[in-house]
Amino acid sequence: MAGRPKILIVRVGRAGDLIMITPAVRSLLEAFPEAEFHLLTGAEGNRVMRGFDPRLTKTWIYSRRFPRSWILKGPLRRAFLREGYDRIYIFEAKPMYRQWLADAAPECHGFPSAAADAHYCERCLRVVDASLPAPAVRGWVDLPVTDEGRAKARTLLEENGVDPDGLVVGLHPTFSGSRLPFFRDRAGMRHRHWPQESFGRLAVLLRERARKEGRELAVVIDALPEEKPIVESVVAAAGGAATLLCAPPDFQRYKGLLAGLSVLVTPNTGPMHIAAAVNTPLVALFSRWSAADCGPFMDPARYTVLRSEDTPQPGRGLAAISPETAAAAVWDLIGRTGQSA
């Protein structure tokens, strides 16, 4: 390769989708220490990956929505040819991306046509492995957390009467699409939505046990302003056992908050992956989706997956997972990760 190599990485999707490519991106950064990296992603991917690594110097924005997707393809492809990429890594399953970009660089690497047979993160790492003379360096998902983000998170907790240095359990009651009308996904809702009453009961159980043991524990919900109507029912169900944090969107502050939690309880959604990327202990709630395919990609000692399929009534979806089971998993993680208050 003449001059400094240029490598384009392609992943368009939501926050969790981008976070799950971070082990492969770290492997590429390690394998090509002299290369400059660019990213083709969507608006949310740009927000998530901003500041990820100084060698990721340019972001191209693409939209999967028609007709904007059709309008952007030609200009983007011409821009890629002008950039003169040496390699392109496509972490998209749809063949369209390979067809679109296959001749935009001398080497174009992506998923084989075979069906998924491993965790998505592992499949991305295999793409990198197949392009190198030796296996790539492997790690977990990760995102940087700034000192400013941590400081803002501490201030938000303190302003709401929560001790940032105590035991703090976070609840994430929403998921991608939870603000859409219910009829949009009536069948799938039960696999993504743990009832508000379950979240509220969990908060009560956690506070009751902490009180009995003479420990200080706070339960918090960090919600976007537009999510407030959804999560207020959880706060009401908790009867004072949960504290609602509602501040303007700030991704650096949000990462700082997650990084400071003792445990986060969440369904399978983007914040689950964000928490894994900042090494926060997790109780992840799954139904229908497989954690072996898209679960937390982090040290197994720092998370627990609870599945509706392991309950007597899996057809109920996430509602089949009891608050008592979730509370036990939270306390187990607090013990396993050596936290005290």
What's 240's DSSP letter?
A: T
Note whether 87 and 183 are same-domain residues: no
Average pLDDT, the chain: 93
CA distance 319 to 286: 10
- Band the pLDDT of 1: cuts 50, 70, 90: very low
Per-residue pLDDT tens over the stretch 103-113: 999 999 999 87
**Higher pLDDT among residues 182 and 158, named by residue:** 158
CA distance 263 to 281: 5
**Higher pLDDT among residues 174 and 264, named by residue:** 264
Specify the CATH number for the domain of residue 287. Answer: 3.40.50.2000
Does any domain span residue 75? yes
- Band the pLDDT of 185: cuts 50, 70, 90: low
Note whether 125 and 177 are same-domain residues: no
Whether residue 87 is predicted with pLDDT greater than 80 in this model: the reply is yes
State the alpha helices, DSSP H only, in 196-322. 196-212, 228-238, 251-260, 270-277, 291-294
The number of angstroms, rounded, from the C-alpha of 100 to the middle of its chain's C-alpha atoms is 27
Q: Where are the beta strands (DSSP E) in 42-113?
A: 56-61, 87-90, 107-110
Whether residue 183 is predicted with pLDDT greater than 70 in this model: the reply is no
Does any domain span residue 139? no
Structural domain boundaries enclosing 72: 6-130
Our count of domains for the chain comes to 2
Q: Does the reported pTM lie above 0.85?
A: yes
**Higher pLDDT among residues 259 and 228, named by residue:** 259
Note whether 168 and 296 are same-domain residues: yes
Note whether 159 and 280 are same-domain residues: yes
Note whether 108 and 180 are same-domain residues: no
